[in-house]
Amino acid sequence: MTTRAPVEAAPGTSVAPRRHVLDLDDFSASEIHVLLDSAEAMREVLGRSIKKVPSLRGKVVVTLFLEPSTRTRVSFEQAGKMLSADVINVGETGSSAEKGESLLNTALTLQAMRADLIVLRHPHSGAPYFLARHLTSTAVVNAGDGMHAHPTQALLDLMTMRRHLGSLEGAKVVIVGDVLHSRVARSNAFGLAASGASVVLCGPPTMMPLDLLRPGGTPSLPNVTLEPDLDAAIEDADVVMTLRLQAERQAAGMLPSLREYTRRWQVNEARMSRAKPGALLMHPGPMNEGVEIASSLAHGGSSQIEEQVTNGVALRMALLYQLLTGTEERP
Amino acid sequence: MPTERLLMTGEDMRRVISRIAHEIVERNRGADGLVLVGLQRRGVPLAKWLASAIQAFEDVEVPVGALDTNLYRDDLTSRRQPMLRPTTLPVDVDDKVVVLVDDVLYTGRTARAALNALMDLGRPTQVQLAVMVDRGHRELPIRADYVGKNVPTAPDEQVRVRVDDFDSVDEVVLVVEREVPA
């Protein structure tokens, strides 16, 4: 089970070798900082004409994606390949998952084939925790589990923010949209809170995450507040992150209408002008242009959306490198 | 209790930098086409130090780069959590003479990794190696072209080069874990 321990920054502490990455709720500020520094070094490799270094030669990384994804799967595959790991992709179709093999048996099979690390995307919250408990020699990285967590997306978002703001300490980050169903928002909230940023969650009251709130409705994380009114929330923001709205939410009765959602919670030029000058606009993708984000903004000057993708590869390189090297101490 | 013995003072280091700067310029017949590349982390300030020494008497500004060798090491699983630092080369190293600069030459594995890292970034005409201290115990056929000080050591001893940028002092010490007989 994941424990929701209070997130505390532990500056100056050394980085304990970690085997799995399941969420950011157990990351300290210093561990995030070290990882982002490594990711910066990896960006240099991405900029070379020959984008390959030999550091993970002989390591086997399996991407096990039981839910559709383009950017996250390709990003992990590219990250592994640039570090010279052998990357094997297993999807929902064409694998034994289609024949009804259980997740555990699939993972045990991959472990028996000596996979060093499994990157798991799964529709059910908690699936990576289940694997991490049962695998003895294979590491697990959560690439998105249901409505729960997406730690590498949050880390690449933190990297993108830090690159532009210099530091996350004291930055105001507004996360707009369906926070309740968003694993991106949830992992970002933990990572941002640990890094000392202040987070404003904004969206329809039906889409606020109850597990991040104490009874009575106050947020349980430090520096996290709720503000349903986007015009008020966006005031003086350093970063505005808007989330993908899933169309089926309207059918589930959580939205009055798409038009009303767009009118009240779409990030557009007029609303961005209330944020700080030069504020960053982010979106984890894939976008519904014209719904949660105005098309003119999606490809405008404040948009970090493509840089988020580039940083994602560098960040995942740093993460794979850290998980697959240097975990044993010299005798 | 580990004990420390002073091997070089800041003044000793300054003289060594000045001598090696002259040796580099003498060997390469000037400073044109040279690039100094410091190995992360303490090789970087030493490379900058050499560049300013060369500029002082040769009036040529030698470009200084930084190289992180961690992605090219062969002993990663036996080491503690590696910390990656930036690799930055201010100029293309193709057809240049690259002088790699490091604080201590020991097994030669860092130098080997640095050579591989450098070859992925370009094709220098020549690569030379400058170190502040050579402590012996090589495990690979590698030697330095410029050596500040040769220090015979035992494998359980450590040589620490301290530089002002990171340690607020310039000095080289020998760290001995066991008690030193008086």
Residues A51 and A162 in one domain: no
Evaluate whether A178 touches A207 at the Cβ level (below 8 Å).
Answer: yes
The residue to which tokens 């929330």 are assigned: A233
Best of A19, A38, A45, A59 to disrupt the B interface (most B CBs within 10 Å) is A38
C-alpha distances out from residue A153 to A71, A139, A192, A215, Å: 10, 18, 12, 29
Residues A155 and A40 in one domain: no
Which of B38, B124, B84 has the alpha carbon at shortest distance from A43?
B84
Residues A159 and A277 in one domain: yes
Q: Do A53 and B79 touch (CB under 8 A)?
A: no
- For residue range A274-286, list pLDDT tens digits in order: 999 999 999 998 9
Examine residue A20 and state whether it is found in any structural domain, yes or no: no
What is the structure's pLDDT at A9?
35
Residues A84 and A124 in one domain: yes
Residue A14 Cα, gap to closest chain B Cα (Å): 10
Cβ–Cβ contact B180 with A under 8 A: no
**Cβ–Cβ pairs < 8 A, chains A and B:** 60
Contacts of B78 in chain A (CB under 8 A): 328, 330
Cβ–Cβ contact B40 with A under 8 A: no
Residues A276 and A294 in one domain: yes
- For residue range B32-70, list pLDDT tens digits in order: 999 999 999 999 999 999 999 999 999 999 999 999 999
Residues A213 and A123 in one domain: no
Which of A15, A53, A328 faces B77 most closely, judged by CB atoms?
Answer: A328
Q: Please give the residue of chain A at the shortest CA–CA distance from B81.
A: A326
Burial A5-16 (b: 16+ CB within 10 A, else e): eebebeeeeebe
Q: What is the DSSP letter of B31?
A: S
Examine residue A14 and state whether it is found in any structural domain, yes or no: no
Q: Domain tally for chain A?
A: 2
Residue A107 is which amino acid?
Answer: A
Residues near A234 by beta carbon (within 8 Å), at least 6 away in sequence: A174, A202, A240, A267, A271, A272, A274, A275
Q: Is the dihedral of CA A258, A262, A263, A264 positive or negative?
A: positive
- For residue range A129-160, list pLDDT tens digits in order: 999 999 999 999 999 999 999 999 999 999 99
Please give the CATH number for the structural domain made up of B10-154: 3.40.50.2020
Examine residue A124 and state whether it is found in any structural domain, yes or no: yes
Burial of A49 (0-12, 13-18, 19+ CB in 10 A): exposed
Residue A328 Cα, gap to closest chain B Cα (Å): 6
Q: Do A48 and B86 touch (CB under 8 A)?
A: no
Q: Token pair for residue B155?
A: 């494998």
Q: Do A53 and B87 touch (CB under 8 A)?
A: no
What is the structure's pLDDT at A327?
52
Q: Is pLDDT of B140 > 60? A: yes
Which of A15, A41, A322 faces B68 most closely, judged by CB atoms?
Answer: A41
Show pLDDT as tens, one digit a residue, over chain A (331 residues): 343 333 333 333 344 578 999 999 999 999 999 999 999 999 999 999 889 999 999 999 999 999 988 899 999 999 999 999 999 999 988 788 878 889 999 999 999 999 999 999 999 999 999 999 999 999 999 999 999 999 999 999 999 999 999 999 999 999 999 999 999 999 999 999 999 999 999 999 889 887 676 666 666 787 899 999 999 999 999 999 999 998 777 777 788 888 999 999 999 999 999 999 999 999 998 999 999 999 999 999 999 999 999 999 999 999 999 999 865 443 3
Residues A295 and A169 in one domain: yes
Q: Do B70 and A328 touch (CB under 8 A)?
A: no
Q: Do B73 and A330 touch (CB under 8 A)?
A: no
Which of B180, B155, B117 has the alpha carbon at shortest distance from A48?
B117
The residue to which tokens 């860092």 are assigned: B110
Residue A44 Cα, gap to closest chain B Cα (Å): 7
Q: Do B78 and A330 touch (CB under 8 A)?
A: yes
What is the structure's pLDDT at A16?
52
Residues A113 and A228 in one domain: no
Examine residue A17 and state whether it is found in any structural domain, yes or no: no
Contacts of A329 in chain B (CB under 8 A): 80
Evaluate whether A262 touches A302 at the Cβ level (below 8 Å).
Answer: no
Residues A157 and A96 in one domain: no
Examine residue A9 and state whether it is found in any structural domain, yes or no: no
Q: What is the CATH number of the domain that holds A108?
A: 3.40.50.1370
Q: Do B82 and A321 touch (CB under 8 A)?
A: yes
Q: Do B77 and A327 touch (CB under 8 A)?
A: yes
The region of weakest confidence among A90-104, A212-226, B3-17, B146-160 is A212-226
Residues A155 and A297 in one domain: yes
Residues A64 and A123 in one domain: yes
Q: Token pair for residue A275?
A: 């944020």
Residues A145 and A158 in one domain: no
SS3 label, residue B160? strand
Q: Do B81 and A42 touch (CB under 8 A)?
A: no
- How far is it, in rounded angstroms, from Cα A59 to Cα A81? 10
Residue B143 Cα, gap to closest chain A Cα (Å): 24
- How far is it, in rounded angstroms, from Cα A52 to Cα A154? 25
Contacts of B72 in chain A (CB under 8 A): 53-55
Please write down the HEC assignment for all residues of B83-146. Answer: CCCCCECCCCCCCCEEEEEEEEECCCHHHHHHHHHHHHHCCCCEEEEEEEEECCCCCCCCCCCE
Q: What is the ipTM of this complex?
A: 0.79
Evaluate whether A156 touches A188 at the Cβ level (below 8 Å).
Answer: no
Q: What is the DSSP letter of B169?
A: S
Q: Do B77 and A329 touch (CB under 8 A)?
A: no
- How far is it, in rounded angstroms, from Cα A1 to Cα A288? 34
Evaluate whether B19 touches B5 at the Cβ level (below 8 Å).
Answer: no
Residue A52's domain comprises 29-149+310-324
Burial of A272 (0-12, 13-18, 19+ CB in 10 A): middle
Q: Please give the residue of chain A at the shortest CA–CA distance from B88.
A: A44
- Residues of chain A contacting B, Cβ within 8 Å: 14-15, 17, 34, 37-38, 40-42, 44-45, 48, 50, 52-55, 83, 318, 321-322, 325-330
- How far is it, in rounded angstroms, from Cα A87 to Cα B9? 51
- For residue range A172-205, list pLDDT tens digits in order: 999 999 999 999 999 999 999 999 999 999 999 8
Q: Do A321 and B78 touch (CB under 8 A)?
A: no
Please write down the HEC assignment for all residues of chain A. Answer: CCCCCCCCCCCCCCCCCCCCECCCCCCCHHHHHHHHHHHHHHHHHHCCCCCCCCCCCCCEEEEEECCCCCHHHHHHHHHHHHCCCEEEEEECCCCHHHHCCCHHHHHHHHHHCCCCEEEEEECCCCHHHHHHHHCCCCEEEEEEECCCECHHHHHHHHHHHHHHHCCCCCCEEEEECCCCCCHHHHHHHHHHHHCCCEEEEECCHHHCCHHHECCCCCECCCCEEECCCHHHHCCCCCEEEECCCCCHHHHCCCCCCHHHHHHHHCECHHHHCCCCCCCEEECCCCCCECCCECHHHHCCCCECHHHHHHHHHHHHHHHHHHHHCCCCCCC
Examine residue A2 and state whether it is found in any structural domain, yes or no: no
Examine residue A213 and state whether it is found in any structural domain, yes or no: yes
Residue B18 Cα, gap to closest chain A Cα (Å): 32
What is the structure's pLDDT at A12?
37
What is the structure's pLDDT at A120?
98
Rounded to a whole number, what is the largest CA-CA distance in chain B? 53
C-alpha distances out from residue A22 to A19, A96, A135, Å: 10, 24, 14
Which of A116, A148, A201 has the alpha carbon at shortest distance from A4?
A148
Q: Do B86 and A53 touch (CB under 8 A)?
A: no
Q: Do A321 and B84 touch (CB under 8 A)?
A: yes
Contacts of A330 in chain B (CB under 8 A): 78-80
What is the structure's pLDDT at B180?
55
Q: Token pair for residue A279?
A: 């504020």
Q: Token pair for residue B122?
A: 């370009």
Examine residue A21 and state whether it is found in any structural domain, yes or no: no
